[in-house]
Amino acid sequence: MSWSASENNTIDPVRVAVLGAGHAGRGLASYLSMYGFDVSLYNRTITNVEKISKRGGIKVQGLFEAFAYLPLVTDDIAKAIKDRDIIIVVVPAQAHTFFAKTLSPFLESGQTVLLMPGRTGGALEFARILSSQLDTDNILLGEAQTFSFVSRITGRDSVLISKVKNSTRVSAFPASHNRLFMRSLRRLPITFNMADDVMETSLDNVGAMLHPTPTILCAGLLESKEGGYNHYHDAISESVGRLVERMDAERISVSREFVSQSVSLLEWLRSTYDAEGTTLRECIRSIDTYDDIGSPSSLDHRYVLEDVPTGLVPLSYLGRLAGVETPAIDAVINLACQLYNHDFWSSGRNLRSLGLEGLNPSEVREYVRTGFMPEKYPELHEISDMFELEVDEI
C-alpha cells in the first residue's frame, strides 16, 4: 500500500530507540516511523547506516511504499537511548552480552527494554549482566519469542517489508512485571500477546528449529553455489522436515518441564502465517511469504552462528537440567561443531550464563516468576552433618 507522512494519523508521544540496523532493525524502525513515532536508529558501525543518516530516513517497499523519516541515526548508544521510552534490541542474540554491558551505564529509570527476539534465555542473560552493574528495579526488561516482521535490506537506504506477523508473544523478566510491560508495549502499533514468562518465550524459539538444521544439511550446495536457493522451500525437504519435527518434539518435551503450555512448530506456523498442512514440508510450502526468501551465501551466517549457540545449546542444557534427553538436537549441535571446527557447547549459553545453575525445574519456574532466587533449605543429611548427629537423632 502507498503511504505518506501526511497519512500518519496515529501520532504518539512515545519515543522509541531501535538498536541494530540490519534486516530486522531497519524494517522495525521504518514501520514505527510510518506510524508517526519518533524513532532513533543505532548501529555499531556508522558506515553501514551513513546513507540513511544523510537522507534522514529509509525508503520502504513491499507491503508499504513510503519514506520513513528517522531524525536520529547514530553509532553513539548514549544518544540513541537518551530520553527514549522504549528501547528495542534487534540484533543477533550472540550480541546481547555486548549490548547489556554497553547499555547499562546509560539506562534511565522508567525505560522499557525489549529483546526482539530473545532466542533461548536472552532476557535471563541480559538481566544477569544488567543486575551486576546497576539497580534494575525501575527498568522493565523482557523479550519477544520472535521478530514481528519479515523484512530484508534492498539497498544502502532501503528495506522491503513483506509480512507483518499476526501476533508476537512477549514476556517480562520477572513475570511479575508482565502487566506493566504489556502496558508499555501496547502503545506500539504491533500486536503483542502476553506469555506466562520468559521460559515460555525462550522455549518457543522456532528459529532454532527452522534455521540451523536445513543450513547445515545444505552445506555442500550452499558453498558450491554460494547460495542461490530458497532456504525454506528448497532446503526443508520431506526428510529434513521430519528431522526438524523430531527436534521440535524434543523441544516440546523440555518445554513441558518448565511451562504450562507449549506450542509446536506446526501450530506456530498455522497461527502466525495461516499455514496449511499436516507436515512441516507441507506447511512451509503453503506460506506465500517464504516464496521470495533466499538462502545464506556462505556458512558464516546467523542461521547457524546465532541459532546454535543461543538456541539449540541452551535448549539442550535445559533438557539435561530437567532430565529430558535431546538426541536429535544434540546431533545437530555436534555436527555444527565438526563442520565449523568450533566448540559451540562451550561458547553457547549455558545454565551459568542464564543464572540458572544449581536450580531444579520448579526453582527455575519460581525464579522467572519473581526474579528472586529460591531459598535453599538444607536437606536432612546436611543438617545431620552440620551438627555431627546421626539421622535418627533428629
Q: Kindly tell me if the per-residue pLDDT of 288 is higher than 60.
A: yes
User: What is the average pLDDT score of the chain?
Assistant: 91
Average pLDDT over residues 73-86: 97
Q: How far apart (Å, rounded) are the C-alpha atoms in residues 2 and 4?
A: 7
Average pLDDT over residues 139-166: 93
Q: What is the DSSP string of 251-320?
A: HHHHHTTT-S----HHHHHHHHH----SSHHHHHHT-GGGGG----SSS-SHHHHTTIIIIIHHHHHHHH
Q: Which of 155, 150, 93, 147 is nearest to 120 (CA)?
A: 93
* The pLDDT of residue 12: 52
Q: How far apart (Å, rounded) are the C-alpha atoms in residues 143 and 88?
A: 9
pLDDT bracket for residue 261 (50, 70, 90): confident
Q: Kindly tell me if the per-residue pLDDT of 43 is higher than 80.
A: yes
pLDDT > 90 in the chain, percent:
83
Residue 301, amino acid: H
Distances (CA, A) of 393 to 77, 297, 353, 378, 381: 62, 70, 41, 16, 11
**Within a 10 A sphere around the Cβ of 172, how many other Cβ atoms?**
30
Task: Assign 394 to helix, strand or coil.
Answer: coil
Q: Which of 307, 349, 347 is nearest to 329 (CA)?
A: 307
Q: How far apart (Å, rounded) are the C-alpha atoms in residues 348 and 310?
A: 6
For 84-131, the pLDDT digits (tens) are 999 999 999 999 999 999 999 999 999 999 999 999 999 999 999 998
261: Cβ–Cβ under 8 A, 6 or more apart, which residues? Answer: 196, 200
Q: How far apart (Å, rounded) are the C-alpha atoms in residues 18 and 73?
A: 10
Q: Kindly tell me if the per-residue pLDDT of 40 is higher than 60.
A: yes
* The pLDDT of residue 289: 85
* The pLDDT of residue 378: 53
For 334-379, the pLDDT digits (tens) are 999 999 999 999 999 999 999 999 999 999 999 999 999 887 655 5
Which grid cell is 312?
A: 539449540
Q: Is 177 a catalytic residue?
A: no
Q: How far apart (Å, rounded) are the C-alpha atoms in residues 321 and 254?
A: 9
Q: How far apart (Å, rounded) are the C-alpha atoms in residues 53 and 55?
A: 6
Q: How far apart (Å, rounded) are the C-alpha atoms in residues 82 and 19?
A: 13
Cβ-contact 213, 243 below 8 angstroms:
yes
Please return the burial class of 139, using the count of CB atoms within 10 Å of its CB with bins 0-12, 13-18 and 19+.
buried
Domains along the chain?
Answer: 11-199 (3.40.50.720), 207-357 (1.10.1040.10)
Task: Assign 48 to helix, strand or coil.
Answer: helix
Task: Assign 366 to helix, strand or coil.
Answer: helix
Task: Assign 192 to helix, strand or coil.
Answer: strand
Q: Kindly tell me if the per-residue pLDDT of 7 is higher than 50.
A: no
Q: How far apart (Å, rounded) are the C-alpha atoms in residues 346 and 72?
A: 38
Cβ-contact 3, 35 below 8 angstroms:
no
Single out the catalytic residue among 211, 231, 301, 330. 211
Q: How far apart (Å, rounded) are the C-alpha atoms in residues 297 and 303?
A: 11
**Residue 208, CA atoms < 13 Å, CB-side half-sphere:** 35
Q: Kindly tell me if the per-residue pLDDT of 5 is higher than 70.
A: no
**Which run of H or of E encompasses 151?**
strand 149-155
Q: Is 342 a catalytic residue?
A: no
Cβ-contact 308, 336 below 8 angstroms:
yes
* The pLDDT of residue 1: 45
pLDDT bracket for residue 310 (50, 70, 90): very high
- Helices 265-273 and 238-255 pack at an angle, to 10 degrees, of 100
Average pLDDT over residues 156-183: 95
Q: Kindly tell me if the per-residue pLDDT of 58 is higher than 80.
A: yes
Report the DSSP pairing between strands 86-89 and 158-164. Answer: unpaired
Q: Kindly tell me if the per-residue pLDDT of 2 is higher than 80.
A: no
pLDDT bracket for residue 152 (50, 70, 90): very high
Q: How far apart (Å, rounded) are the C-alpha atoms in residues 53 and 74?
A: 8
Q: Kindly tell me if the per-residue pLDDT of 4 is higher than 60.
A: no
Q: Which of 120, 136, 183 is nearest to 317 (CA)?
A: 120
pLDDT bracket for residue 145 (50, 70, 90): very high
pLDDT bracket for residue 388 (50, 70, 90): low
Average pLDDT over residues 275-298: 92
* The pLDDT of residue 137: 80
Which grid cell is 388?
A: 555431627
* The pLDDT of residue 376: 60
Please give the DSSP secondary-structure letter assigned to residue 166.
S
Q: Which of 24, 13, 173, 137 is nearest to 85 (CA)?
A: 13
Does the pTM surpass 0.85? The reply is yes
* The pLDDT of residue 390: 52
Report the DSSP pairing between strands 38-42 and 112-115. Answer: unpaired
